[in-house]
A and B are shown apart, each in its own frame.
Chain A
């Protein structure tokens, strides 16, 4: 299994560590050539405006969209969720827009409002997942075909649609690898198709 991690800006090394601990090979993606032969792509946490602009400036937004259309799994965490959203409240920033969701940025407040909490995640069993939220967004609205996997105080923080997953929290900052395993399972299906 060979999974790409978009390495334009943000916490890409942490995702690589989580993936490697599960036996995956990882590739840092900064240019379009690096998208070749990957079974899935993670868009990490960071600044969504920075990541969006660099994606356009270095012409990798379109190749990612093309691969996503072919079924390549894409998982966005925090900034990555925003980049995946079709609509972003009060923003015209560059994005991939692959998921039928509306994201609200900095939705829980500024850094002093950042928090960690126990999440019940659909499909991960009864054991709660310790989730870290940093200046996090949430999903304000979901369209058809989007499955909600977790909420905090009624706000959607984890969702899935076709070959896409988006989380408002940072599974790469904790040692619990269950969320990464969930994504790797999608990637396996795509890998076998390829």
Chain B
């Protein structure tokens, strides 16, 4: 019997995205540039995080017209973002036929206590996390893919590095705990016990884990891959740079050949202006998107 929307099918699409780059796009033209450069998927948005940051106010799900046009423009998977806890935006995105929903801290949260019940959907979800407990809470709610939060729209990779290192180091710690200490570990990190046990056994997250938030160069992408992530999200880093097509292609090559400094040197040449960054340490607490989510 044929079954749709199963855990295997939801998690499976993320497996197919591994070793690839998912790029933020705001128009069908940008989506085509991304596809042509070798993106394994695109994220359809009304504004990239850097512009959301600059505009201020409330950031919401993109206009369905924009999402539809991007769905029609490319053959690769299309993702779209809903606000944290906004399950109706998620319902709308599912009905539009998007391939993955990002319940994202880049948009203004719609619920300050609860995330979307992602198990209730046929379409799979990806969620951001800064540490293992947060990642496992999201997986417990049904997320079939995890990404670091980083600090979106800054072009500063430091927070993505912090979050990836944190998750990896917490996994290594769990692996070394005797069985009887796992329940207390689960309690302390606020994570479902069964998932804590699974992570201790697997030595990795039970779903695909991408890096996101502040990745702007091929070297940034390779750094995150060497730190152990499965693939890369690039938000503002491509279409806020001087030569988006060339940079996009270079980041794709760097994600494949992340362990080969010669290739990395080659693809890093003459990329033009990178996005103008914001140094994290100059960012006021209230402007940090990564604090959103619970």
Contact = CB atoms under 8 A, between A and B. Distances in A.
Interface of A: 7-14, 30, 45-47, 49-50, 53-54, 57-58, 78-79, 91, 105-106, 110-118, 132-135, 152, 170, 173-174
B16 A11 contact: yes
Contacts of A45: 15-16
Contact of B12 (A47, A58, A91, A173): A173
Interface string B1-28: 1111110110011011111100000000
B13 A9 contact: no
A9 B122 contact: no
B70 to A, nearest CB: 13
B39 A50 contact: yes
B102 to A, nearest CB: 13
A69 B41 CA distance: 33
Interface of B: 1-6, 8-9, 12-13, 15-20, 35, 38-41, 75-77, 94, 97-100, 122-124, 252-253, 255-257, 260
Q: Is the interface of B mostly helix, strand, loop or mixed?
A: loop
Contact of B77 (A10, A118, A135): A135
18 contacts: A9-B38, A9-B256, A10-B16, A30-B257, A45-B16, A46-B40, A47-B40, A50-B20, A50-B39, A50-B76, A58-B257, A91-B75, A111-B100, A114-B13, A117-B1, A117-B2, A132-B8, A134-B9
B13 A118 contact: no
Contacts of A115: 2-4, 6, 9
Contacts of B38: 9, 49-50, 53-54
Nearest to B75: A105
Given A46-B16, A46-B40, 10 more contacts: A9-B18, A45-B16, A47-B40, A49-B38, A78-B16, A105-B75, A111-B100, A112-B99, A132-B8, A173-B15
Nearest to A110: B97
Given A114-B13, A117-B1, A49 B76 contact: yes
B35 A49 contact: yes
Contacts of A106: 75
A85 to B, nearest CB: 14
Question: Which 3 interchain pairs have the tightest Cβ spacing?
Answer: A111-B99, A117-B2, A47-B40
B126 to A, nearest CB: 12
B13 A111 contact: yes
Specify which of B9, B16, B41 lies most central, judged by the most chain A CB atoms within 10 Å of its CB.
B16
Contacts of B5: 112, 114
Nearest to B257: A30
Contact of B41 (A13, A47, A113, A116): A47
Specify which of A79, A152, A173 lies most central, judged by the most chain B CB atoms within 10 Å of its CB.
A173
B16 A112 contact: no
Contacts of A49: 35, 38, 75-76
B252 A116 contact: no
B4 A114 contact: yes
Nearest to A152: B2
Contacts of A105: 75
Given A30-B256, A30-B257, A114-B9, A13 B76 contact: no
A47 B13 contact: no
Nearest to B76: A47
Contacts of A58: 253, 256-257
Contacts of A118: 1
Given A10-B16, A132-B9, A112 B123 contact: yes
A151 B180 CA distance: 49
A144 B19 CA distance: 36
Contacts of B12: 114, 132, 134, 170, 173
B92 to A, nearest CB: 13
Given A57-B253, A110-B97, A116 B16 contact: no
Specify which of A9, A49, A117 lies most central, judged by the most chain B CB atoms within 10 Å of its CB.
A9
A97 B18 CA distance: 24
A170 B15 CA distance: 11
Contact of B9 (A9, A11, A53, A116): A116
Contacts of A30: 256-257, 260
Contacts of A174: 8
